[in-house]
Structure 1
Amino acid sequence: MNTARIARTETFEHTITGLLGKRADLFNEAERIRDRLAEIKNDIGAIDRTLGVLGYAGDLDAAMPRQKREVIFGRGELTRAIMGELRHAEGPVSSRDIAKEIVAMRGEDARDRKYISDLTKRVSKALRQMKAEGHVKSAVDAKGSVSWERRA
């Protein structure tokens, strides 16, 4: 009768090495998917421009299949993140700077310009609502840029 011996180690070296390898594989796959998604979005933009040049006057968004709404922030999560950033800021900050800090805090890709731009718009809208409620104040500089800070 052949008895199998179970190999056990005191450390988890093999497991850690395997998990680090798998993590690297998944990260690389996510990069490839993000790059492919950017290519697809560029292709759709090119097709839309070509349709316009060819005289198509219909509503392109209405012709699209309905997509599931992506929830990026839970209820109140963006407002709490904004207030956290303003609390730690050493002076007035722009909506874009707040958006970049939130992306970094969440561990997301800060190089995704479209995501940063979309998030900046959301942050700006949330800040305008927070200003109307009296939680923050804004100032416009000579260039027309708006900066934000908490009310004292």
Structure 2
Amino acid sequence: MTKRAELYRTRQEARAALVELDDDIAAMDRTLRILGYEHDPDDAMPTVAQNPMFKRGQLRRLIYTTLREAGPLSCRQIAERISGADGKELSAVAKRVDRSLYKAFQRGQLQRQKARTGEWVWFGGGIEN
């Protein structure tokens, strides 16, 4: 419990620091406006380069293909098949697969059922064998 309390305290300090940074940025924006800066200050901010693990829509297609070929599978089983095929880190793939499966479930594109092991087994509307 000591570690949990320490993490909680660190989180609270980080939140306080973010509030302080937001206040500082707002003060700078007000100063820029007073000095006559007419553009949106956010436009001058550098963009953060992202290195996505999958291209747009690629993960969803891999999931659907895996389910179509193998039938109902758990998130972990899907991630193992995808990471094995692409050589990507399993835990990172599993996290993205889980998120993608749940989004598809919310949109009604996939269904799930609780297995005896307690895991969700995923299968799809229109993608089954």
Mapping for residues 1-152 of structure 1, pairs under 5 Å: 59=14, 68-89=49-70, 91-106=71-86, 108=87, 115-152=89-126
State the one-letter code of the partner of 1:71.
P
Q: Percent same amino acid among aligned pairs?
A: 29
Determine helix, strand or coil for the equivalent of 2:73: coil
State the one-letter code of the partner of 1:146.
W
Structure 2: 5+ residue stretches without partners? 18-47
Determine helix, strand or coil for the equivalent of 2:98: helix
Q: CA deviation at 1:72?
A: 0.7
Listed one character per residue, the Cα deviations across residues 53-102 of structure 1 (whole Å, up to 9, x for unaligned) are xx98965xx9xxxx85321111101001100101101x320111111111
Larger radius of gyration: 1
State the one-letter code of the partner of 2:98.
S
In structure 2, distance between residues paired with 1:131 and 1:101: 20
Work out which structure has the larger RCO, using CA pairs closer than 8 Å and 6 or more positions apart in sequence: 2
Paired residues in the alignment total 91
Determine helix, strand or coil for the equivalent of 1:138: strand
Q: CA deviation at 1:122?
A: 0.9
In structure 1, distance between residues paired with 2:116 and 2:62: 28
TM-score normalized with structure 2 length: 0.57
Judging by fraction of residues, say which structure has more helix. Answer: 2
In structure 2, distance between residues paired with 1:87 and 1:148: 11
State the one-letter code of the partner of 1:145.
E
TM-score normalized with structure 1 length: 0.49
Determine helix, strand or coil for the equivalent of 2:60: helix
